[in-house]
Amino acid sequence: MRADLRGVVRLLGIPFTCGMMKLAGLILAGGRSSRMGGPPKALIELVGMTLLERTVAVITPQVDDLAINLPPDLDLPNLTLPVVRDEMPTFEGPLAGVLAGLQRAVSMPLRPTCLLTAPVDLPFLPAELAARLAAGIDGPDTIVFAEGPSGRAPLCALWPLSAAPRLSAFLAGGTDRRVGAFLAGERTRGVTFAPIAVGGATVDPFFNINTPDDLAKAAELVAAGRPWSSRRAESGSPP
């Protein structure tokens, strides 16, 4: 949606919804996964499905186009999604992936309104992530990110395409590559997400898998909540 139309929607007091937008989606899978000591995070299995399969299943219904971000030196087998590579030869952190996704979105023939990003290592992502974030937009340049019970999840965010040149300048202009450092200079808004119930426990929907212990905890939660999880895995549906 054009910025002026978005303003009219706000002026009239009409709730701004995801259905008014065209969204590109980007799964961020460029992390080094050094603490997992095994395959890339995208290929790690959680109760019969890889983390990538789980993320694709949740994000696909929420966007009009979906791609995956990978570093230059990583390829994944049997990948059907378009791949967006970090343009920088050295590891510059997740913002390099966000920038690559924004630049791809800008070049699309049917330009989307925003880019929805989500890391691949969050197994309990909300099905209403895009809709909730879209409802939080309060201006054409606002970056809207999720906040869970444990704090910010700044890479679960809607990024306006107008952020691309500013992000490019930020990455080129200094040594601080932290997401928070970039967001500190931007117009942002957080959207709070409540805990969710998984396997009889209360869980942050943005719980992320960084270590083998995190993976074991997630597997225990999924198995406890879905005793028929093997059949769910065969059907391609995450818990």
Q: What is the pLDDT of residues 208-224, one digit of tens each?
A: 999 999 999 999 999 88
pLDDT of residue 77: 80
CA 135, CA 138: separation in Å to the nearest integer? 8
CA 39, CA 51: separation in Å to the nearest integer? 11
Comparing 10 with 108, which gets the higher pLDDT? 108
Q: Per residue in 87-134, pLDDT tens?
A: 766 667 899 999 999 999 999 999 999 999 999 999 999 999 999 999
Cβ(67)–Cβ(84) below 8 Å: yes
Output the pTM of the full model.
Answer: 0.86
The CA-atom distances, in angstroms, between 100 and each of 45, 106, 118, 150, 217 are 27, 10, 14, 28, 32
**What's 43's DSSP letter?**
G
Q: Per residue in 180-203, pLDDT tens?
A: 999 999 999 999 999 999 988 999
The CA-atom distances, in angstroms, between 146 and each of 88, 93, 136, 191 are 27, 19, 10, 5
What token pair was written down for 216?
A: 């074991």
Residue 36, amino acid? M
CB atoms within 10 A of CB 75: 9
CA 72, CA 96: separation in Å to the nearest integer? 11
pLDDT of residue 14: 38
pLDDT of residue 30: 77
Averaged over 11-16, what is the pLDDT?
A: 41
Q: Which CATH number fits domain 3-235: 2.40.50.140, 3.90.1570.10, 3.90.550.10, 3.40.50.2300?
A: 3.90.550.10
Averaged over 159-177, what is the pLDDT?
A: 92
> For all residues of the chain together, what is the average pLDDT?
85
